[in-house]
């Protein structure tokens, strides 16, 4: 496993550790964070894909994943196994569910990851993939690519496509890019942090415009993240 020792990788690790840190400064930091400028389309979770005895969560550093074995490059609290999704240390057919949410854009070789997901899935098991289409550059710990919905579907390989669509819509795209754009004008990090907080709190209610826009067949032209549910035959 080759964990880059870049400043971005170190920053990512600090962010993950801060998410669960009990220190009062980190608690205050979490309280001041504005709500995310996006909402999820509920159709994404309408698929019936029950958890099994063993389920896998890829790339869950800084997140809690109850019911899953949480695998990430970074061995931070909450991660059960530090490993690369490109070479999973698990036997074939072990997992009933695999979650791969906003990870494929960060791995060196997404085809290898898909090969591993297919291998460790139990016959009849489900994989849920989410990837960004229109989203700012974000290194966790690298950022290699974006996907259209067609590009995501191409990764399915031998897995059956059960459902596919857009998780987050055009307004989410506009808001996340607007926040990044404003920060480009600010040369100092403390200023960017304040701008992100202030603008984030002012703008987040606009995210509900996507409740209307996601009904449009054209919403995907500037959709934010798309998803696919896949099932291993058998
Ligand atoms: C954008 S974050 C995913 C966020 C997470 N799904 C969530 O909802 O909180 C991407 C994650 O993938 C991890 N990651 C990147 N490359 C990886 C790899 N080759 N194997 C496993 N995890 C990786 C990163 O460390 C990071 O935690």
Per-residue pLDDT tens digits of the chain, which is 234 residues long: 556 677 778 888 888 888 888 899 889 988 999 999 999 999 999 999 999 999 999 999 988 899 999 999 999 989 999 999 999 999 999 999 999 999 999 999 999 999 999 999 999 999 999 999 999 999 999 999 999 999 999 999 999 999 999 999 999 999 999 999 999 999 999 999 999 999 999 999 999 999 999 999 999 999 999 999 999 998
* Residue 72 CA to ligand 1 centre (angstroms): 6
Pocket of ligand 1 (CB under 6 A): 58-61, 63, 71-74, 84-86, 101-103, 106-107, 140
pLDDT of residue 6: 78
Question: DSSP string spanning 149-187?
Answer: HHHHHHTTTTSEEEEEEEEE-HHHHHHHHHHHHHHHT--
- Ligand 1 atom with the smallest distance to the CA of 101 is 6
* Residue 224 CA to ligand 1 centre (angstroms): 18
CA distance 82 to 75: 5
pLDDT of residue 12: 80
- Ligand 1 atom with the smallest distance to the CA of 57 is 6
Task: Read off φ and ψ for residue 2, nearest 5 degrees.
Answer: -115, 95
- Please say whether the beta carbons of 49 and 97 come within 8 A: yes
CA distance 95 to 121: 5
What is the distance of C-alpha 22 from the center of its chain? 24
**Mutation probe of ligand 1 site: the residue of 8, 12, 36, 72 with most atoms within 8 A of C-beta:** 72
pLDDT of residue 3: 65
* Residue 61 CA to ligand 1 centre (angstroms): 7
CA distance 74 to 228: 26
pLDDT of residue 204: 98
Q: What is the 3-state secondary structure (H, E, C) of 50-119?
A: CCCCCEEEECCCCCCCCCCEEEECCCCCCCCEECCCCCCCCCCCCEEEEEEECCCCCCCCHHHHHHHHHH
pTM of the model: 0.93
* Residue 84 CA to ligand 1 centre (angstroms): 10
CA distance 22 to 208: 32
pLDDT of residue 16: 82
* Domains, the chain, with CATH or none: 7-29+49-169+219-231 (3.40.50.150)
Exposed, middle or buried by CB within 10 Å (0-12, 13-18, 19+), for 205? exposed
């Amino acid at each position: 496993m080759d964990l880059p020792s870049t400043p971005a990788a170190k920053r990512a690790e600090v962010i993950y550790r801060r998410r669960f840190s009990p220190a009062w400064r980190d608690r205050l930091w979490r309280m001041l964070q504005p709500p995310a400028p996006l909402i999820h389309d509920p159709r994404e979770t309408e698929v019936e894909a029950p958890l099994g005895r063993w389920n896998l969560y890829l790339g869950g550093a800084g997140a809690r994943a109850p019911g899953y074995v949480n695998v990430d490059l970074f061995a931070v609290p909450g991660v059960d196994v530090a490993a690369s999704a490109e070479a999973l240390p698990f036997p074939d057919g072990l997992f009933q569910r695999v979650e791969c949410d906003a990870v494929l854009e960060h791995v060196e070789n997404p085809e290898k990851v898909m090969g591993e997901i297919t291998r460790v899935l139990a016959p009849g098991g489900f994989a849920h993939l989410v990837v960004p289409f229109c989203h700012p550059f974000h290194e966790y710990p690298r950022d290699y690519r974006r996907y259209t919905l067609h590009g995501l579907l191409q990764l399915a390989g031998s897995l059956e496509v059960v459902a596919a669509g857009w998780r987050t819509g055009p307004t989410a795209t506009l808001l996340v890019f607007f926040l990044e754009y404003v920060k480009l004008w600010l040369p100092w990090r403390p200023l960017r942090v304040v701008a992100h907080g202030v603008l984030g709190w002012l703008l987040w209610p606009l995210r509900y415009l996507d409740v209307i826009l996601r009904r449009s067949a054209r919403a995907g032209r500037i959709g934010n993240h798309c998803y696919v549910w896949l099932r291993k035959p058998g």
